[in-house]
Copies of this chain bind each other. A is one copy, B any other.
Amino acid sequence: MDQSITFTEKDQLKAKPESVQLGFGKYFTDYMFEMDYSLEKGWHDPRIAPYAPVALDPAAMIFHYGQEVFEGLKAYRAKDGRILLFRPEKNMKRMNQSCARLNIPKIDGKFVIKAIKKLVAIEKDWVPTEPGQSLYIRPFIIGTEPFLGVHPSGSYKLLVICSPVGSYFGRNTKPVKIYVEDEFVRAVKGGVGFAKTSGNYAASLRAQTKAEELGFDQVLWLDGVEHKYIEEVGSMNIFFKVDGEVWTPELDGSILPGITRDSVLELLKKWGVPVKEKKISVKKLFKKAEKQKLEEVFGTGTAAVISPVGFLKWEDRVVKVANGETGKLSKKLYETLTGIQNGTIKDDMGWTQEVVAASTSDAAAEPAGTPDVVSEAAVTE
């Protein structure tokens, strides 16, 4: 896509929240990126404009037939002032895989990364400075055609919004408690489980609230066919360290191919830790646990990075993992990943991309690769 991104500047920026207040996904920055799709023009009119309500016809497809895909990535602030993105090209690739499943026209991933970099550069003062905090970036596409009838939309809107975030689970260090769901099903092969689309999350709410009522943090899903094999957690992939070996469920079409999952697999291989992507029977896993062979369990995801699991419940069986503490490998993975993300560890994997260069506090700094911006703002403060 060879289009310039217009920028409409605000007169009055929002007050920024205190870093202790952040939580997750509650505050939104001053601007958003937006572009539209029509059958005639394709993706067009890319623009950065003040964060504002989206006005849609009440018959818009998104309200009725759920044609939607989204992504989640983060911008991290390094000690030297640089702002870094982590493997954004992977998010764009996955977004296009989701689009293909949901009949949504593909995007030009490179162009959207440029747009995200431009947006983050404009919002750089919103990127939090405290350890463990970051700017969460949410690109999403919605079908907008006003039409009642089950057909792919003829028009779409892509938006990117940003939220400064702290820890996803509200506390940083305590391992989470996980509940194996055996009644509700999230996804099944042939369905949309591998796509990042809103319907998967809507379907998960009942089980999630049930888990919370029972005193657990998250649901561990089983496969939809036999209810025997472990799939993933609400918004994380899952790993088990069993007798010195690391296992994670294979990608078979019903779980999300996590970017943190992929990064963990690469790190483990690099470190020479034996690792297997495979079908994992919950029964066998609990047997291993009961024989004291289950050494560590952790979830992986952009929001929480590495989330150690301290307790697992399945039917009437409860297992305490690593004595309810964070395991050694979980800790090493967390420190390595966040170190690369924050620029404190040298990125020899080539995973980070610079949005804002080192020690730049002057607004004029233009990172490499930022697209041309045509300013529409009449007045600057």
Contacts and interface: CB of A to CB of B under 8 A. Distances in A.
Number of identical protomers = 2
A58 B51 contact: yes
B205 A67 contact: yes
Nearest to A67: B202
A56 B68 CA distance: 16
Interface in A50-86: 51-59, 62-68, 70
Contacts of A151: 205, 208
A58 to B, nearest CB: 5
Interface in A224-283: 224-225, 227, 234-235
- With most chain B CB atoms within 10 A of its CB, the pick from A138, A189, A190 is A190
A150 B205 contact: yes
A30 to B, nearest CB: 13
A192 B203 contact: yes
Q: Determine the main DSSP class of A at the interface with B.
A: loop
Contacts of A206: 101-103
Contact of A199 (B54, B101, B149, B203): B203
A191 B202 contact: no
Interface stretch (A3-11, A127-135, A180-188, A349-357): A180-188
A142 interface: yes
Contacts of A227: 190
Interface in A284-338: none
A204 interface: yes
Contact of A59 (B25, B148, B209, B225): B25
A161 interface: yes
A243 B297 CA distance: 57
A341 interface: no
- With most chain B CB atoms within 10 A of its CB, the pick from A58, A150, A191, A208 is A58
A126 interface: no
A273 B149 CA distance: 33
Given A150-B208, A168-B149, A206-B101, A224 B56 contact: no
A360 interface: no
